[in-house]
Structure 1
Amino acid sequence: MEADAGRKSVTFGAGGTTVEMICAVARDAAEVTIAEDALAGIEAAYDCLVRHAEGGQAIYGVSTGLGAAVDTKIAPSSGPSQYRIPRARAVGVGHFVEPDEVRAMMAARVARFCLGYSGASAAAVGALRDMLNRSVHPWVPMTGSIGEADLPQLAHIALVMIGEGRAVLPDGTAVSGAEALAAAGLSRPTFGIKDGLSLISSNAASVGFACLVLQDARRVFDAHIGATALSFEGFRANIDPLDPLASRLRPSPGQARVAAAIHSLVDGGDLMKPGAARRLQDPLSLRCAPSVMGAGWYALEQAWLAVELELNSSDDNPSVIANEDRVLPTGNFDPTHMVLAFDTLSLALARLAAMAAERMMKLMSPGFSDLPRFLAPAEPGSNGFSALQKTIAVLAAEIGHLALPMPFAVTPVADRVEDYASLAMSVVDKTARLVEKLRYLTAIELIVAARAIDLRGPVALGNGAGVLFRKIREAVPPLDVDRSPSEDIYAISDMIAAGSLVEPLLEVLHRHDSAS
């Protein structure tokens, strides 16, 4: 299929992939192609698998049953016998994932197939690619995976590939899997001897979803840098803690980079002048922002690295290593390292939220800011942002709650054979909800800080801060009279989500970025 004019293209090869590539397929509808080296590896692994199966080797899911039924011998077979595997495991419940989320899951599975260790047939891999390129989006319920391979989510995707299950057409119409394939001009593939298992025995659903969460988290983090810089401007804070010397004295992870990023935004403004700060010692939510936000940046980098490790390694059980002529049972479907990285990221982002809430409360307090209470308009009886404090408080509380780690002891399943679970999908899902709430909180800080700047009178903002302030004012007018701030918050939140608000101003933050 030829790409539409101007459509992006992503090529998955044997050398691996990146978070950005998955996001491009998921959110920019980039066309997926499979590199020649990847196709050769897929075919070599399948041929190796067939040889071992024909030689009588016991191969999990090929010549044996699955889970607790591993003691059941079956005859290796292609076609309908492999169709049974996703049918029995499409047990998801709960809300259905969004189109970009299911695209990310599908893209992650194609990318890992291209590493050449799954034993899937070229026909099955090509069929999954074609579903992406023709916008066949299966209905996938979010809940059901315990994180030791995302069997339910991937099974719901595989059902559509064989003409069953449910899918959504590009116009939003819900149809059967068979109708979706027909509308896209696709036919169901004949499965090879491991295709049913290969399509579902992976944590590609949680890994693909994690790519989107990381992109969102990074955009929120960028906006959080901008919000902090505007709070420095609105508070007329002391910029000494941003001095590079402070970071050299205690080089905690990310501190120097974040300090430099905030400093770059306020550079060129009045805050750089001697005596510009109103206080010698500002509240810790301003003074310690570089170290706390630096820890957050480091946590984001580590989560990014963990996800890319998953994208670029095999999690199949069994794996097929053609150049070693082996079919190897593994436990590589367990992504505990990624789960721990996301738990840490959530805890770090919750600390950012707590500091942001305090900065806003300080800006609204005359005793700290020397500005009108709640930053209210001058008209008698005006409320300003007084009620908005409640929204700030509940967002900070909910973020803190979502940051709590998932349980590490889970009810054993599969006749107690599967007696441990990473709960990867659940962890990634709650991190996504946390990031969304942090995006709203950050949007509020941008609005509150901009209002404080309005009330300061004529001050020269830093060059980057000035650009950011003007962007906010283009979307949100000054609070000259009381009005509902909800639409303003949504407007700024949407700009953050699109990555269009602050990213272009943060070259210092992203230069030589190891997570890019």
Structure 2
Amino acid sequence: MVELTGNGLTIADVRKVCLEGEQVFLSRKSLQKAEKSREAVQKIVRDGRTVYGINTGFGKFSDTLIHEKDVMQLQLHLIRSHACGTGEPFSNEVSRAMLLLRLNALLKGYSGIRKELLDRLAFMLNEHITPVVPQQGSLGASGDLAPLSHLALALIGEGDVIFQERKRTSADVFKELGVQPIVLEAKEGLALINGTQAMTAMGVICYAEAEALAFQSEMIASMTMEGLNGIMDAFHPSIHEARGYPQQCAVAERIRNILADSRLVTKQGDLRVQDAYSLRCIPQVHGASWQVLDYVKEKLEIEMNAATDNPLIFDGGRTVISGGNFHGQPIAFAMDFLKMAMAELANISERRIERLVNPHLSDLPPFLSPQPGLQSGAMILQYCAASLVSENKTLAHPASVDSIPSSANQEDHVSMGTIAARHCYVIVQNARRVLAIECICALQAAEYRGADKMASATRAFYEDARLIVPSITEDRVFSKDIEHAAQWLKKNKAGWTTSRIKREPDGWKRNA
């Protein structure tokens, strides 16, 4: 089980809970902090102090005072009115991550909500009651208001959920399980929806998939090196140490390890003096993407443990400050940065695909065809990769540079971070398909060169991959091969992945 404290939640923990189904439990110390914060809210209501979101309206209505008898109705109206999401729902994994991250943030004890509500969020996670949350509609400031309102609707029995693989109303599921919907009290609705948990949840899932794909890209690129008789001198440690980027050095080291016993790679001067950039610069380009991944991971893990609602309650309620921690700019930048990093992994992969299929760039059969002319072979596989790479270039346009004022100009600068995270996810899926295409072509090239001459690591990968994608002996519907290979990679079962690598102080190294 994963203990939630409001601090110290990691991306690995999110994987365990949201992807592997591990249960959570709440820290007793954190629950005590939350209860003290709740007592402060109740005292504010009793004393009639004017505090934003507790007994005032929201946004431009912040100067409208709300009578004590109406504060509960205020929270209900807030959730209903702000549930304006549209479009396709987030995946179950992302919605579960939203639940987890919002629960963790509320456990910090600055939000003033009841233990009952915290327990219900944990109950939903542990019972796999997953809110149905539309993807579109968040500006990424004032919190992810629309998505998180749909999450809150599920808590109060007015939303839809996925339970036991069926879409149902949360009211029906709660009734079946013998629990009552939550009735929101002062500040609780606002505490649920003022936060960056939609963009951060989407970002964490993006990162988890991107990290695995970055490792897999090195194995696939190594196989391409064998298919093209690539020159290993470009991976010599001295070159990379001379530049000094640890991620670049680590990529070069991993590829040297992968290809250590290959009889298909060459030395400079054996066949040619140097390779094209898409081979020679793998450490530099992939290493730069790893720099971005490291940056993004740091920002996500800060945000996952941040108090991002408004107002925040300090000093037992003596200090209640209305601020802007809900603004998603840090995650918006991180997601836009990750978009570029993953788009470039796909970009350089597509160039390697071109070298594998273009008869003017290698001595391999034209388009890896078993009968050039009569059969087209991998010709249109490269077209597909080029299309995906081009689509990624448009999706990589930064969302974070846009802003549209809202709430009568009270909320006059927003991050669009949730858009950045959503587009990042599409880029990751496209990049995986491009790398799946490179994998298919590299398998065929390695087979042509002689699989028995491959390195031990790439040969093991080759044999596993051939169970997914058979040899091209005759033209067939390659769309199926692309999807099968992409799903194989997505399931994280394809060789050199995070399960086989650990982080050391001097960079990424393979487990012994």
Q: Structure 2 length as normaliser, TM-score?
A: 0.94
Q: Of 495, 500, 508, which aligns to 2:488? A: 495
Of 46, 54, 70, the match for 1:62: 54
1:419-430 correspondence runs (5 A): 419-430=412-423
Q: Is 2:114 the partner of 1:121?
A: yes
Residues 408, 272 of structure 1: alpha-carbon distance in 2 compared, 3 angstrom cutoff: closer
Cα shift at 1:176: 2.5
| Structure 2: tracts of 5 or more residues without a match | none
- What is the CA–CA distance in structure 1 between the aligned matches of 2:507 and 2:222, rounded to whole Å? 24
- Counterparts in 2 of 1:23 and 1:335: CA distance versus 1, 3 Å: same
**Is the 2:56–2:63 Cα contact (8 Å) retained in structure 1?**
yes
Residue in structure 2 matched with residue 284 of structure 1 by the alignment? 277
| Alignment match, 1:408 | 401
Unaligned runs of 5+ in 1: 1-8
Going from structure 1 to structure 2, the CA distance change for 1:303 and 1:146 (only over 3 Å counts) comes to same
Identity %: 28
Match of 2:178 in 1: 185
Is the Cα contact below 8 Å between 1:261 and 1:508 reproduced in 2?
Answer: no
2:150 maps to: 156
For residues 504 and 153 of structure 1, do their structure 2 counterparts lie closer, same or farther at Cα, with a shift above 3 Å needed? closer
For residues 66-465 of structure 1, the aligned pairs below 5 Å read: 66-76=58-68, 79-148=72-141, 149-172=143-166, 174-252=167-245, 254-271=247-264, 278-322=271-315, 325-378=318-371, 381-406=374-399, 408-457=401-450, 460-465=453-458
RMSD: 2.2
Identify which range, 128-137 or 257-266, moves more after superposition: 128-137
- The alpha carbon displacement at 1:271 in A equals 4.7
**In 1, Cα distance between equivalents of 2:485 and 2:233:** 29
Give the CA deviation at 1:325. 4.0
Q: Deviations over 1:44-66 (max 9, x none)?
A: 21122333443443211102110
Amino acid at match of 1:163: G
CA contact (8 A) 1:13 1:114 kept: yes
Shift of 1:371: 0.8
CA contact (8 A) 2:264 2:449 kept: no
**2:33/2:108 contact within 8 Å kept:** yes
- Shift of residue 458, structure 1, vs aligned partner: 5.7
1:398 aligned counterpart, secondary structure: helix
Native 8 Å contact 1:258 1:509 kept in 2: no
Cα distance change on mapping 1:84 and 1:94 into 2, 3 Å: same
Distance 1:355 1:380, change over 3 A: closer
Closer, same or farther: CA 386–47 of 1 in aligned 2, 3 Å: same
1:324, distance to aligned residue in structure 2 (A): 8.0
Check whether the contact 2:250–2:507 (CA below 8 A) recurs between aligned residues.
no
CA distance in 1, matches of 2:169, 2:60: 31
- CA distance in structure 2 between the aligned counterparts of 1:96 and 1:272, rounded to whole angstroms: 47
Residues 230 and 266, structure 2, Cα contact 8 Å, conserved in 1: no
Q: CA deviation at 1:273?
A: 6.4
Deviations 1:279-309, CA, capped at 9 Å, x for gaps: 2211101111111110101101111111111
SS in 1 for 2:32: helix
Q: Secondary structure at the match of 1:221?
A: helix
Deviation at 1:326, TM superposition (A): 2.0
How many residues are aligned here? 507
Q: Is 299-308 or 491-500 further displaced after alignment? A: 491-500
TM-score (norm 1): 0.93
Give the distance between the partners of 2:432 and 2:451, measured in 1 at CA. Answer: 29
Residue among 42, 49, 65 paired with 1:50: 42
Shift of 1:378: 3.9
Q: Structure 1 residue 268: deviation in Å?
A: 1.4
Instruction: Answer whether contact 2:229 2:265 (CA < 8 A) is retained.
Output: no
Deviation at 1:241, TM superposition (A): 1.5
Measured after TM superposition, the shift of residue 126 of structure 1 is 1.3
Tell me by how many angstroms 1:404 deviates: 1.1
Q: Which residue of 1 aligns with 2:8?
A: 16
